Structure 1
Amino acid sequence: LTFVFFELTVIVFLVYDIITEYIKNKKFPFKAILLKIFKLVIVTIPAAVILISYYFHVNEILESNISRTINDNVGLFENLYFIRPLIIYHVSNDGYANLPFFVGFVVLILTYIAYRIIAKPGKAAGRFFRNFMLIMTIVYLVLLFVVPAGFILHTIRIRLSLLFFLFLIMWLGTLRLPRWIELLAGLFFLFIFVEHQFRMGPVRSRTSVNVYDMHSIVDKMEENAIFLPVNAKDFWMEEFITNYIGSEKNLIAVKNPQAYGPFPVVFNYRGMPYTTIGGHDRHDINIFFRSGPETNEHREIDYILIYNQGKFDKARENPELKSFFDILDTNFEFVAETPRKTTALYKRISK
């Protein structure tokens, strides 16, 4: 996704530049187009080499004992980690991401403003602020600060971040920068992208190992079993549990059916069986899971998958989760755990 997003951004910028050149000159600058395509190919070579190298070493990664973790939380522009190409991950710095891309943009913009004011004083400021792309960039930047963080507004803030960078890139595409500034910008963005690809290595490794690790425990569950995935770190459902499992068995995951943000994902509520955990309704505990309407006939959750075993004991100290742990200790028994001891499987005793 990082590679695709970066290439699409460059392609959009290229097409936009070609269209503006045609509108201005009433003809296609074929030599300039070929030169831009050549630059595009040069920029993609580092990413392509990294991706090809990763592809040929997937088996080694899956068979090795890798235990790397990345914390996606960031302090400034906390939702910008969704825009993967624009951020470098620093594992050694408590997992926080710095924003050299954003800082670099600010430096380039200030350099350009200073250059235009010195070159043509009096007119540069007017042209600068009349530019539509710049106005939209400022609008979305202001909205990103104004819109508060929260569960409902989380999705909106992500879109604001995307739109901010989209208009910022488009605005820079309308500028005619001095050659030395264009060269500096090109080298800076190339460095950021290549550095990001190397920093994303631990993330890809972690995902691959999680898939391999999780698949080893799924064999313990019977066909058509109902299981509840629980993340002990924050005690919320793992959204991509089915991606990690990748089993050929028919298994039912009663995970959280709603996407984060104001856009719920509708599921077949009345077509599902009434599901309970240890004889308790989902409203009796503080962990939501998917279930149909209450009827006399119901199905019990057969298995519970506990993620992040290292946070398990700390989660027991939370009084709001007492009912869940009472059910787990009374109605379920430990069956197995993954080779890296990150996930444990519990089975209903009466099953």
Structure 2
Amino acid sequence: MSQRLEISVGRASWSFDRRLALTCAALLTAVVVAFLVSVSVGFTTPIDVARILLGGGTRIENVVVFDDALPRALVALLVGFGLGLAGGLTQIITRNPLATPDLLGITAGASVGAVLTITASGSALAGFGIPTAALIGGLTAATLMYALSYRRGSEIGMSTLRLILIGVGLTWMLQALTGYLLSRAQEWDAARAQRWIVGSVSFATWQVVPAALCAVVLGVVWSLISARDLRTLGLGVDTARSLGVRVGLSISGTMVVAVVVASLSVAAAGPIAFVGLLAPQLAMRLTRTPTPTPVAAGLTGSVLVLLADILTRTLLPGGLPVGVVTAAVGGPFLIYLMIQSARKATT
């Protein structure tokens, strides 16, 4: 049986890996099911939720679903997708599973911008709003990280190893700055910022949905437009260059998109830990591709965050942020990846 799936419309045609297409379809189904379950928790059944969403609900049902449950589930879906996709993009261009927005300082920079907006009403960023402030923080951190890891004479302009090491150091520095801001803030503002820093969708409203939606749209559009270049970059810089890929432009553009997507996702629900690390690696193992596939990583991220939110409202103590659940899973997985990378380096 052919491993490629061909779709033709007129003179245009697209070729897909059959396993990848089937895995993405299964992940999409899992996202829809988890989304309906998330909306229904503590209220009704997933089937009734589908009926209400299709316009068959009563006035009370519509108020509960559309004003309370739906924004929370939608933000969990979109933020998980954005963080997973951003992690997939950074892992592709660096060819390193540890190169994620969490460990490169991107989400930490976005957090500084958002916390500064929440806790310091008189700051210059306060007038921009959390999404814009988080975007500014993420872009600033990424620019600093790139400048410090710059390597003269390199076509891609950076050393991957230096990028990761500097990113980790930058992350700790920015987290220290966030801690300082919290220590100087008013009690109410500090409590609000602390809930946000852990990563939570509990207080999600329709106001944060546009930022998360923009992140997903941007990430998906770029991934589709640059699909060939991204697949080729996964084979190595030299191979990509020999196949006609403009390596420097492709890597720079992908990095900018990853920063924007991660920053906007963080702005909507906080820096939910390890989604950018877990989702691409799990998706890669499901699809059996040599490098992460951004859209599959995004779908896996959506499933992870939705399931984590469902767990916090059912089996786990009430009020627990989703970031605690993802960190509990992601921590051991990070140790596994580090051990695996060390073994590969010694063979």
In the superposition, the TM-score normalised over structure 1's length comes to 0.25
Q: Which has the larger radius of gyration?
A: 1
In the superposition, the TM-score normalised over structure 2's length comes to 0.25
Structure with the larger strand share: 1
Which protein, 1 or 2, shows the higher relative CO under an 8 Å CA cutoff with sep ≥ 6? Answer: 2
